[in-house]
Amino acid sequence: MSERIAAELPAAELPRRQVRVQRVTLAHGGGGKAMKDLIHDVFVQAFDNPLLNGLEDQARFDLASLSARGDRLAFTTDSYVVHPLFFPGGDIGKLAVYGTVNDLAVGGAVPLYLSCAAILEEGIEVELLRRVARSMAQAAKLAGVQIVTGDTKVVQRGACDKLFLTTTGVGVIPKGRELGAHLARPGDVVLVNGLLGDHGAAILGARGDMQLDSPIESDCAPLHGLIEALLAAAPGTRCLRDATRGGVATVLNEMAEASRVSIEILEEETPLRREVKGFCEILGLDPLYLANEGKIVAVLPAAEAKAGLAALRSHEFGRDAAIIGTVGSGEAGRVTMRTVFGGVRIVDMLVGEQLPRIC
């Protein structure tokens, strides 16, 4: 999509272009007819919407309609290099859409628009790209957002691993809504919306490196609806983070450090799938550091914890929600876990990369 976008032609008036070869060549990144055929065939046909179909160099928005939704814009960007491209419960396209939607939502924003930049390796199958684009289109539709602009580049064979995606998102924050990692206070309660570590376990299982037969699927999901339900039930919510790379442990450390508080979680209250727990025991991994793509960590005032938990559990992506800990006034930035044996261990920030190429 090196042609980026604004909206004038309806989809019916777009020329129907089609790629006639099975694999991407360097010519598909050269700016000529081959590139236009690829853009139309793979991306425009999948993402079809008025803001995209004009194929200008930018997407154009009506400020009045944005202002009616809130008084601040939220803007985020992320790159996706997951290996393998398809895994149980998702794929790189679904991951890119939902990951960017969630990055907006944890800041309190209503996600609206996405861009998509694709780095393609020479030789990648065109049909594989179509599958990814269709997956992205379906994910965007389910999340209620539009992919409205983007870019495509082709690099020589060996310069990247088949396909890298970068998605950027724009959303609007309703007036009066304020969330931030620096807002946690002693006495607050820590919640998660479900079973932890599924995405990291699913990716490692899909790679086949350990020759394990695992039924674990990624938890990849759009969380803005769940977050809106939580904020409606618990308007005093202090902060939200999606626990992706580095897992819940890293998010808790970021919150404790930013708010200058301590946080203690309870091992027996931390929700883990039995298969994930066994997976981690076999491989010597700590599930608190495994990546998630459909889980948030929320810090709420204690008075709103019951209502917030009920709101999470009433949503399809929060049925296994749990209160896992509390915020304290101990050593600033310290995160600990009270174990099932009654001891206490430090839960530090992840050092290095537990699992590479996870998202």
- Domain membership of residue 38 (yes or no) is yes
pLDDT confidence tier of residue 339, bands split at 50, 70 and 90: very high
Q: Are 256 and 332 in contact (CB under 8 A)?
A: yes
- Same-domain pairing of 155 and 204: no
pLDDT confidence tier of residue 290, bands split at 50, 70 and 90: very high
135 HSE (CA, 13 A, CB side)? 21
Does 9 score more than 50 pLDDT?
no
pLDDT confidence tier of residue 279, bands split at 50, 70 and 90: confident
d(CA 306, CA 219): 24
- Domain membership of residue 148 (yes or no) is yes
Does 239 score more than 70 pLDDT?
yes
Give 166-225 pLDDT, tens digit per residue: 999 999 999 999 999 999 999 999 999 999 999 999 998 898 766 666 679 999 999 999
- Same-domain pairing of 243 and 133: no
pLDDT confidence tier of residue 10, bands split at 50, 70 and 90: very low
Question: Which of 173, 193, 210 is where one domain is finished?
Answer: 173
- Same-domain pairing of 100 and 213: no
- Same-domain pairing of 167 and 26: yes
Give 350-359 pLDDT, tens digit per residue: 887 778 899 9
pLDDT value of position 211:
62
Q: How many domains does the chain have?
A: 2
- Domain membership of residue 355 (yes or no) is no
pLDDT value of position 54:
85
- Domain membership of residue 144 (yes or no) is yes
Instruction: State which residues form the domain around 137.
Output: 11-173
Does 253 score more than 90 pLDDT?
yes
- Pair of tokens at residue 147: 């992919």
- Same-domain pairing of 109 and 214: no
- Same-domain pairing of 212 and 136: no
- Domain membership of residue 97 (yes or no) is yes
CA 225 to chain centre: 14
- Same-domain pairing of 223 and 124: no
pLDDT confidence tier of residue 4, bands split at 50, 70 and 90: very low
Q: What is the CATH number of the domain that holds 332?
A: 3.90.650.10
Ramachandran category for residue 306: left, alpha or beta (phi over 0 → left; psi -120 to 50 → alpha): alpha
- Same-domain pairing of 203 and 159: no
pLDDT value of position 18:
86
- Same-domain pairing of 136 and 189: no
d(CA 105, CA 287): 24
pLDDT value of position 212:
63
- Domain membership of residue 32 (yes or no) is yes
What average pLDDT does the structure give for the chain? 93
Give 80-134 pLDDT, tens digit per residue: 999 999 999 999 999 999 999 999 999 999 999 999 999 999 999 999 999 999 9
Does 306 score more than 50 pLDDT?
yes
Render 296-350 in DSSP notation, one character per residue. Answer: EEEEE-GGGHHHHHHHHHTSTT-TT-EEEEEEESSSTT-EEEE-TTS-EEE-PPP
Q: What is the CATH number of the domain that holds 127?
A: 3.30.1330.10
Does 12 score more than 60 pLDDT?
no
- Give mean pLDDT, residues 152-158: 97
Question: Which of 144, 173, 202 is where one domain is finished?
Answer: 173
Angle at 224 between CA 256 and CA 233, to 5 degrees: 75
The pTM assigned to this predicted structure is: 0.93
d(CA 247, CA 285): 12
- Same-domain pairing of 301 and 328: yes
- Domain membership of residue 299 (yes or no) is yes
- Same-domain pairing of 164 and 222: no
- Domain membership of residue 65 (yes or no) is yes
pLDDT confidence tier of residue 6, bands split at 50, 70 and 90: very low
pLDDT value of position 15:
58
Question: Which of 173, 197, 218 is where one domain is finished?
Answer: 173
Give 52-77 pLDDT, tens digit per residue: 988 889 999 999 989 999 999 999 99
- Same-domain pairing of 111 and 194: no
26 HSE (CA, 13 A, CB side)? 5
d(CA 52, CA 14): 11
